[in-house]
Every structure is written in C-alpha cells, then in structure tokens.
Chains A and B, each alone.
Chain A
Amino acid sequence: MKISGMRMREKLIVRVIARALIPFILLFGLYVQFHGDFGPGGGFQAGVIFAAGFVLYGLVFSLADLQRVVPWPVVELGVALGLLLYGGVGVASLLLGGNFLDYKVLDSNDAMQGLHLGILLVELGVGLAVSSSMLAIFYAFAGRREAR
C-alpha cells in the first residue's frame, strides 16, 4: 500500500500509531464480544472489529506479514469451526433432551445459567466465523494484484 510515493510501512507516524492502536482494537473487539449478552454488541460486531485490527496490520505493513500471523488455512478453519460451534450448541441441547438451540437444558440445575452459557457459546461461534470471513474477504481482494 502506497501513500504519496512512500510505502505505508516507511511512514513512521502511521507505523507507530498502528502498532499502538492494534492491541486496543483487539481488546475492544473482545469487550464487545463478551459484553454482548448484557448490552449492545455481540458476535457479529465483535467479529468485524476484531478482524479490523488484523486488516489494519495488513494495510500498514503488508499482506505477506499479515499472512505470516494468520495463514490462509487458519482463516478457512476459523470459518468452519465458528459455524460448527454455533450448530454444535444446538445439537448439544438436542442431545440433552431439549429442542434445537434450546439453551435452557444446557445447565441441568439452573435454566438461566443454561441460557447464559448457550448464548455465550453461540456468540463466540458467530464471532469466530465472522472475523475469519472478514479476513477471508480481505485476503481475496488484497491478494488479487499479487496473484497476477
């Protein structure tokens, strides 16, 4: 990525600020993820924010650097595992005697605890799948020029 003739990674300010910001972006992503059951937020938004941290890294440094951190197979795995985690919670509640995605049966003593656990795991699945999908889309677009 180039700005006014210079590669972005050669710009000191961009590099330093990005380095400083990325941990906070990831942290904020996690906050939105785990805050989702009590307030605004949830897996989808968290997934996008979390992936945005990685995308920023890829933009400022390079796609190759990013792909060293998160290789393509990991992204593919993330998409699949996220969906499986979501569906797995549904199947688990099915096996525990409830209907599909009936979280209440996940905790045998306290239905509220079960609900809480269920939504937490489902949102985690969503977060994983969404952040991996965002990265997959970024890889697909950013990798086009290099593929030629």
Chain B
Amino acid sequence: MSYAAAETAPVAAGHYQATEVTKTFGSVSVLRGVSLTLRPGRIHTMMGENGAGKSTLFKILSGLLRPTTGELRLDGAPVAFSAPHDAHQRGIYLVPQEPALMPELTVAETMFVGQLPTRAGFPRRVDWPGLRRQAQQALSSLGLAIDVGQLARHLSIAQQQQVECAKALLRGCRIILFDEPTSPLTSHEVERLFGIMRRLRDDGCTLGFISHRMDEVLDISDDISVLRDGALVDTVDRSGFDRVRLLSQMVGREMRVIPRRTASFSTGRPMLQVEGLAHAPRFHDVGFTLHEGEVLGLAGLVGAGRTEIAETIFGIRTPDAGHVRLGGDEITGLAPHAIIRRGLVYVPEDRARHGAILPMTITENITSGLLDRLRQRFGLIDRNDEDRTGAAIVTQYRVRCAGIDQPLRQLSGGNQQKVVFGKWMGLQPRVAILDEPTRGVDVGAKDEIYELIEELAKAGLAILVISSEMEELVRLCDRVLSIYEGRIVAEIEGADITPARVGQSYLSRDGLAA
C-alpha cells in the first residue's frame, strides 16, 4: 500500500450517525442510549460535566471502544470497527487531548506510521524523500510551519495536535473528532487550533469537539449536544445557544443540597496567607487568605491549575514568585516535611498513589505519619501505644471496620478516606488542604466525610477544599474561589454560593461578569 491509498480512500459525504448507543463497563453504565448525528461542514460540540460520557462517546465513534448496544451509521450504512485503524480507513479520526507520541521518530515518520510509502522494486524500501515531502505539504496546507525532520519529542502539545490534524488528512479522513483539545493549550494556541478547525469545516469536513469552556464552545460550535450521566439531554444548533440554559442542562438534577450555614471569617485570625503566587505556565498571581475555622473552596475545571496551586503551597513545586505564610511565618520554598512539621498538611486526590498504603493495616496506615510521636522504648516503638493511637482515630473518625488490624484494602473507598484523614489529622495540623476529598467515595459515605470536615473546621482547623463537584463546594464552603486557566476569576461568599453561580463562575476568564 503506498500513499496513493489515501487518495482512493472513501470521499464520504460525512453524515455520521449514532443510534441508541450504550456502553457499560462491568456493571457501570457510562452511556445510555445516545443518538445524534454529526454533519459535514459543521462543528458539533459535546458538553457535560466530568463523567457525563463525552469521551466514551468519541472513543466509540472512532473505533477505540465498541458500543455495548446500538448502531453507528456512516452515510446511512451501518459500520462497526474492531480497532481505530478500521475507523481511519472509513475516514474517521480521533485527535486525543494529548496525542500518543512516538518520541524517537521524526515528525514526518509519525505522520505515516502504519502506512509508510514505499518505492517500487526489490527490496521494497521506504520512500523517505517522498514521505518528508508529503508530510511537509500536509502541514503547509493547514498553514503550519513545523519542521518534519525533527524528532517528535520536541513538539509541544499544541503542535502535536496540529500534526494529528494533518495526519488525519493524510489518511484521507474527513470526519475528525477532537477530544477536549483545548484544556492543555494557551489561549493563543486555542485560537490557532480553532483556525485549523474552521478551515476544515469550511472545506466540508465533519468535526466533533469536546470542551468545558463555555466561551469557546459558543464561539466555534455549529451544534451543541449536552450529555448528562451518560444520556443525551438536548441537541441545539446556533439559533438555540443559550448560556444559562446549557448550564442548567449540564448540571441538571435537582439540587437538594443543604448548604452549610456559612460565616464570615474575614475578621478572624488568618492562618494561611498566599500572595502573588505563580508557577508558570500553570498558574499566575494567586493570592488569598484562609482563616482559622474557615472552609475555603477552590472551584474550577480539571486542568485549571488547582492541584498545582496546592502542590506549590505544600512545597512539592517551587514557585516562580510569591509568598506563602503559615500563621504569620514564611514557609515559601520549604520542603513538604518541613511544612508538615509547621502544621500544614495536604491530602492529595489520588488516594491509592499518595495517601494510603493499601496492603498495610489500618493502624499501620494511621501511625505511618506520626511514628516519631509514639512512645518509644529503647528506640523501639511501643506497639501498645501504636494500637491505642490507631483505635482512638478509628473511633473518632467513625471508620467502619472489622478491627484495627484489618488491611486497608478491605475497606470501602469512604472508610479508606476516613483512615487517610485520620492519619493526617493525627498530626494536629493548623491548616489542611483537601484535594477532591470524596473522589471514589460512595454517596452515603460522602455525608459522613462532610460532617467530619465540618467538625474539624468547628475545632478551628483552617481548610482549603479542592473539588470538581459543585454540590460539594456548596455543601461545605464558607467561601469559594473560582480558578480559570490558573487565575482566580471570582470569589463567592455566603448565600451567593449556589450551584448555578459556582458552576458559571469558572467556565470563562470573566468569572461571573459574563
């Protein structure tokens, strides 16, 4: 197969239709009967909260996953793919958010992987000059100036996405799906990508797009479909675009959230003061004060820079600029262990990787962070004291378990999280940063964790909560800061903390002003 194959590839009219597509993983249902049609010359955007099923849908459309039930039709004829390669041959290409790189190959070669052009004759050899020429032309036709002779590892993510677009065209693909391409990009890079997308659309390609950012979605889309909990809520075209309505469709379910009775802490004793903190390119000029007994929320999209802010405060990352003070003392640039000793703890999002040691027992997990505080005899840890400490925390944090010697992995997600909390709170910190404190915790246990957080706050702990769930922020926080592309764009206080306001506040760089 030589490059000529690309020219004989189906010049599809490009109507790509999904009918009643469902997808289940084990017992978890991710897509529930989604039906929609992508049309040539249009950019069709999927919107929805995290976990709504947008990416899964695109993976099914592009052959990475197979639907559990339902049907795909390309220009009226049913199609089924066993691998992405099959989808490419039918003219469908997925541009992932962070394209799978072949770092040690040249850009030109990566564009032709799997179908290198060869020269006739024996032995059949790769046509390197032809390959480079075609690769360079494909990029030029999109207005891109990327040296195809350099190694792919030197490309930025934006360039990788651009190369993927050219790759789709080289493979004769006219249905191109973009899975949340803009979240790792700067605004300048987004404009460039949109330029390419418009060019492809005007040329009659069928484009699919996923994004959380309301501004850019309204800017570039011709059609918008809203997904919620794996089901299609609505599809509207440009005439039906309405920011507020889309938002309420995304959030959807009745908000039966009882907000915390909030208090104003601006006159209270400041515990954590952050000033002009920056870590390019992830966040810039972040400043806030967290007071004793206050629960402050950080709202934002995944990738907005919230975790990076927390990691910088905690000393995992070194800031480019700015100051962090803990109870008045400068802690900027200290290492995490020094910061912990001064009374600030960070409970990270990925419990299994950073917080919990699953094969070890509950007690061992709890005491692993405070071994030097246990009573010792001749330099050896007093096991009785260790057990007492473990038992005390299990009781205080209402961990449901068979006994304190049970391995942590046997507990449910919620109880594991309580143990992790107990471990950190055993250090008696003054400030705690909780990153997605209820990730992987079932609904019933969530409430218990919320109650624990409230009790800790009542006892005077200053708490910074990072959460992607609006209900959680509404339920817990006295104050919410909204982060968009690494900047604080809104501050919401007291009674203003409602799902709608919080949800709207971090979707654009204008915060609530828009």
**A and B associate in one complex:** no
Taking Cβ atoms with an 8 Å cutoff, the residues of A that contact B are: none
Taking Cβ atoms with an 8 Å cutoff, the residues of B that contact A are: none
